[in-house]
Chains A and B, each alone.
Chain A
Amino acid sequence: MSGAGFLLDLHRCVGCGACVLACRIENGRVLATAWRRVLPLNLGRQPAGPTYFLSVACHHCEEPACLAGCPSRAYEKRPDGVVVHHEERCLGCRYCEMTCPFGTPRFDEDNGVVSKCHLCVHRVDAGLLPACVGACPTEALRYVPATAVPPADAVRFVPGFVDPAGCRPALHFRTPAGTRRVELFRHLGEALRR
């Protein structure tokens, strides 16, 4: 069993930003400390590849670097795999900003501590979906509970994403299948690797 996490279907995501706003509303975040971001790739629409969007927040890694590098034990990995940050224990040392390869923890200048996505555990524990997942109008972003296995065609790496080796993030991607976009996608991956 792997931990709870997100599944992002790159063919369905249109980068609309509803997930970013839903997270901000649910968790009271301003832009500077927003937990979810949408990273567009190939907005210039180069012909070799499709434009696609990485909607990313915390990946609730199997081996969380934030937790390993935190001197104040502000991070906790719950039995269901969710990595929770306890602000009241945070020193504001910002080590986790350096150790997390994904740039997930966001430092808040106003209160001097970092914060990050907690997979809406308050909602998930009440049987609801994380706010971002619930808001996704194309159902591109999904929640995979710890008790479920990601679909067989899900992958851990796509072009533009940080190499997942080491931390083993619980974020899975679905890349398009059976469409013209597969070829475009492969070309873009090759172009980015060069």
Chain B
Amino acid sequence: MPAPRTIRTVCPRNCYCTCGMLVSLDEHDRTVRIEGDPGNSATAGHVCLKGLSYARRTTYPDRILTPLRRRRRGNGFDPLTWDDALDEIVARLLATRDAHGPTAALYYEGSGSHGALGGLSMAFWHQFGGCTTTFGDLCWPAGLEATRLTYGANLHNHPRLTTDSRFILIWGHNPAETNVHQWRLILDAQARGATIAVIDPRKTDSTDAADVHLQPRPGTDAALALGMARVIVDAGLHDEAFLAAHAHGFEAYRRRLADYPLDRVAGLTGLDAGAIRALALDYARTSPALLIAGFGLQRHHRAGQTMRAVALLPALTGNVGVAGGGWQYANLASHCLRELPLPPEPPGMRAVPVSQVARHLETLNAPPIRAAWIERGNPATQNPAAHRVRQALGCLDFVVVVDQFMTPTAELAHIVLPAKTLFEEEDLVTAYWHPYLQWRAKILDPPGDVRPETEIWRALCERCGFDTRYFPTDRRAFLRSLLPVGHESAIDELPLRALDLSGHGDVAFAERRFPTPSGKVEFECDEASTRWGVDRVPEYVPLDEGCDAPMRTRFPLQFLSCKTRDRIHSQFGNLDWVRDVERPHVLDIHPEDARPRGIVDGARAAVWNDRGRIEVTARVTPGIRPGVVHVLEGWCHDGDPDVNALTDEGVTDMNHGATFYECLVEVAPA
């Protein structure tokens, strides 16, 4: 048997890890092995369940391999040729534009596949005369903005420095499931003597391994952070030398702390005052201490102020710019590529917040949305108020969906176009945890009639008589031209190894220079007020739909829909290899909440609010905080309604994020 050939590539999913991968193929181009690339020192020679499953996913029997057209009557789709598909798409889109204007077409792209070439869709839409698109992000923007306002940039230490830490505070995050390579490093630090503390309303694989676990009421994290700061300052454990040199507005912040005495914070958060005090003192006394914040504590509309409050704790204790310390939220060091050359943006482009697609599909006027193009996303289950997104998409004149599989969104399309997989087109992939820019190799020709999206957009431009010079003829040369100035020759090295082109070094802010207006860490921030209308100093404000909201009389339970190791949102959940080992799809409910409602472990339960209703099997468990219930998100492959039938279309206080975890519900036996 000839030896398999092995090619280095990268996983482009929306995930912290962004693993370097080694893919081995036999002489028939079958994937025989997927391993981690040891050259990526953050993911260090391992992938995960999902990465391994590409050996199945890329050749899965359900994969869409030709363009499909929905039947005029009845259900189902029929294959059609690319010529017919493109003719119909061009005719329908141009008719929509000519009758209603270009912004009657919605272009929606999700986060399903990362790569620099994804942005080339705009070469079509700009020449089309514009379109309606989305702004903001469903996931993390409030935390990004809070970090930028506080430290000036979203950078953090190289993951490998985790093992230098003596105290790791993990906040609203479950790395044992969602950042498994970070978890390996956290366990290594723990084995070397570090204390691990986790703040999470749920008991998770991460909290199980931790030395300390606090379960606050969801949405009260700002109060907890300010209360901890008060304990630290009262005990004189703040780093006065660091603050004197590098803090802006510390006195205003210190005055704010007067509002957060321990007994009040204990009441707001539902935590034991002694436990808060002990955590604050341990965090402040142990050096270096690393604070890792997840996305979970910023999925509500007070997200930005919450994240500012939490992000200041490392600065308060002088843990910034040191190995083993720091504020770890997102590391955008690899986001160094030049902008794609695109045709000029036409006047009259229109954009709506991505968390409010349902509302705008329903109500947008002058013109209303009549057609939609959706790629790399599955808004019919993954967006807030997903059931309304689904309904609204079903009412449009014309919908095109590009995907590898028949997702609930693709089911709504008039035309479905087959999407490439990560093995079928070169690209450059950035990360948000480690600093590496990585080369996604073209390993195989696309099977069947599959074309990469760049070729779809080029073909559409050709048919419309638009300029096609924006699309690459030589992908390697094109991607080379996107590399940062002075690093163009890296194009030869990228296929061999992950590269850090940022020049930032392993320790973020090692020089203690902060690109904020004051040049310091901003405890008080004018831009927070002028741009976002929030207080200059972080504060805790109760949620409209939170643990102290009047609405609790009708819907008393806070509903969380967290992420699982088994999927990236709704991706991978359709694969047999993943379903063989996946976590059960259940409603976690505390015995104290289950008993009075007659909810029995293993029985079906209905979860509802004014927005929607789902049915799930109940798992009565003391592993969740009373008053909080939880269902894993992204389960949409059995026709079950997704959790987003319940979620609200709110927008975060900063940067246009979604508010998935600000969601009150009631539960009863189904």
Stretch at the interface among A43-51, A80-88, A89-97, A142-150: A43-51
Interface size class of B (residues with CB under 8 A): 35 or more
B494 interface residue, CB < 8 Å from A? Answer: no
Is the CB–CB distance between B622 and A45 below 8 Å? yes
**Known contacts being A25-B32, A180-B211, is A137 close to B580, with CB within 8 Å?**
no
Segment 82-133 of B: residues with Cβ below 8 Å from A: none
Q: Which residues of A contact B458 (CB under 8 A)?
A: none
Q: Which residues of A contact B52 (CB under 8 A)?
A: 18, 21-22, 25, 135
Q: Which residue of A lies closest to B588 (CB)?
A: A45
B552 interface residue, CB < 8 Å from A? Answer: no
Q: Which residues of B contact A45 (CB under 8 A)?
A: 203, 621-624
A12 interface residue, CB < 8 Å from B? Answer: yes
Q: Which residues of B contact A47 (CB under 8 A)?
A: 622-623
Query: Could you tell me the distance in whole angstroms from the C-beta of B537 to the nearest C-beta in chain A?
Result: 35
Q: Which residues of B contact A158 (CB under 8 A)?
A: none
A98 interface residue, CB < 8 Å from B? Answer: no
Stretch at the interface among B173-181, B307-315, B375-383: B173-181
- Among B32, B34, B205, B584, which residue has its beta carbon within 8 angstroms of that of A51? B205
- Among A15, A31, A52, A139, which residue has its beta carbon within 8 angstroms of that of B184? A139
Q: Which residues of B contact A69 (CB under 8 A)?
A: none
Segment 121-143 of A: residues with Cβ below 8 Å from B: 134-139
B46 interface residue, CB < 8 Å from A? Answer: yes
Is the CB–CB distance between A25 and B33 below 8 Å? yes
Interface digits, A55-72 against B, CB 8 Å rule (1 contact, 0 not)? 000000000000000000
**Cα–Cα, bound, A34→B544 (Å):** 50
**Cα–Cα, bound, A93→B32 (Å):** 32
Q: Which residue of A lies closest to B195 (CB)?
A: A179
Q: Which residues of A contact B53 (CB under 8 A)?
A: 21
Q: Which residues of B contact A31 (CB under 8 A)?
A: 576, 580
Q: Which residue of B lies closest to A176 (CB)?
A: B209
A74 interface residue, CB < 8 Å from B? Answer: no
**Cα–Cα, bound, A17→B49 (Å):** 6
**Known contacts being A180-B211, A181-B208, is A17 close to B621, with CB within 8 Å?**
no
A11 interface residue, CB < 8 Å from B? Answer: yes
Q: Which residues of A contact B184 (CB under 8 A)?
A: 12, 137-139
A38 interface residue, CB < 8 Å from B? Answer: yes
**Known contacts being A17-B581, A51-B208, is A135 close to B35, with CB within 8 Å?**
yes
Interface digits, A1-36 against B, CB 8 Å rule (1 contact, 0 not)? 000000000011011111011101110000100100
Q: Which residue of A lies closest to B208 (CB)?
A: A50
B577 interface residue, CB < 8 Å from A? Answer: yes
Q: Which residues of B contact A176 (CB under 8 A)?
A: 209
Q: Which residue of A lies closest to B184 (CB)?
A: A138
- Among B35, B49, B203, B576, which residue has its beta carbon within 8 angstroms of that of A134? B35
Is the CB–CB distance between B48 and A26 below 8 Å? no
**Cα–Cα, bound, A17→B177 (Å):** 11
Is the CB–CB distance between B580 and A179 below 8 Å? no
**Cα–Cα, bound, A20→B50 (Å):** 12
Is the CB–CB distance between A179 and B211 below 8 Å? yes
B451 interface residue, CB < 8 Å from A? Answer: no
Is the CB–CB distance between A20 and B584 below 8 Å? no
Q: Which residues of A contact B213 (CB under 8 A)?
A: 180
**Cα–Cα, bound, A24→B317 (Å):** 48
**Cα–Cα, bound, A53→B46 (Å):** 19
**Cα–Cα, bound, A176→B209 (Å):** 9
**Known contacts being A45-B203, A137-B46, A179-B211, is A14 close to B180, with CB within 8 Å?**
yes
Q: Which residues of A contact B577 (CB under 8 A)?
A: 21, 24
- Among B34, B49, B580, B621, which residue has its beta carbon within 8 angstroms of that of A44? B621
B632 interface residue, CB < 8 Å from A? Answer: no
Is the CB–CB distance between B180 and A138 below 8 Å? yes
Q: Which residues of B contact A51 (CB under 8 A)?
A: 203, 205, 208
**Cα–Cα, bound, A46→B565 (Å):** 21
Is the CB–CB distance between B47 and A135 below 8 Å? yes
B214 interface residue, CB < 8 Å from A? Answer: no
B55 interface residue, CB < 8 Å from A? Answer: yes
Segment 578-633 of B: residues with Cβ below 8 Å from A: 580-581, 584, 601, 619-624
Q: Which residues of B contact A52 (CB under 8 A)?
A: 208
- Among B55, B190, B580, B620, which residue has its beta carbon within 8 angstroms of that of A20? B580
Query: Could you tell me the distance in whole angstroms from the C-beta of A84 to the nearest C-beta in chain B?
Result: 20
B210 interface residue, CB < 8 Å from A? Answer: yes
Q: Which residues of B contact A46 (CB under 8 A)?
A: 621-623
Q: Which residues of B contact A44 (CB under 8 A)?
A: 601, 619-621, 623
B292 interface residue, CB < 8 Å from A? Answer: no
**Cα–Cα, bound, A25→B619 (Å):** 33
Q: Which residue of B lies closest to A24 (CB)?
A: B577
Is the CB–CB distance between B205 and A18 below 8 Å? no
Is the CB–CB distance between A21 and B180 below 8 Å? no
B478 interface residue, CB < 8 Å from A? Answer: no
Q: Which residues of A contact B205 (CB under 8 A)?
A: 14-15, 51
**Known contacts being A135-B35, A179-B211, is A14 close to B177, with CB within 8 Å?**
yes
Segment 159-194 of A: residues with Cβ below 8 Å from B: 176, 179-181, 184
Interface digits, B630-645 against A, CB 8 Å rule (1 contact, 0 not)? 0000000000000000
- Among A21, A138, A181, which residue has its beta carbon within 8 angstroms of that of B183? A138
B651 interface residue, CB < 8 Å from A? Answer: no
Q: Which residues of B contact A135 (CB under 8 A)?
A: 35-36, 46-47, 52
**Cα–Cα, bound, A91→B196 (Å):** 53
- Could you list 4 further interchain pairs (A-B, Cβ under 8 angstroms) beyond the known A21-B581, A46-B622? A44-B621, A47-B622, A135-B46, A179-B211
Q: Which residues of A contact B (CB under 8 A)?
A: 11-12, 14-18, 20-22, 24-26, 31, 34, 38, 43-47, 50-52, 134-139, 176, 179-181, 184
**21 sampled A-B residue pairs with Cβ under 8 A:** A11-B209, A14-B180, A18-B48, A18-B49, A21-B52, A21-B577, A21-B581, A25-B55, A26-B33, A44-B620, A44-B623, A45-B203, A45-B623, A45-B624, A46-B621, A46-B623, A47-B623, A51-B208, A135-B47, A137-B47, A138-B184
Q: Kindly list the 9 A-B residue pairs having the minimum CB-CB distance in the complex, ordered from nearest.
A: A45-B623, A17-B581, A137-B46, A21-B52, A50-B208, A14-B176, A137-B180, A138-B184, A31-B580
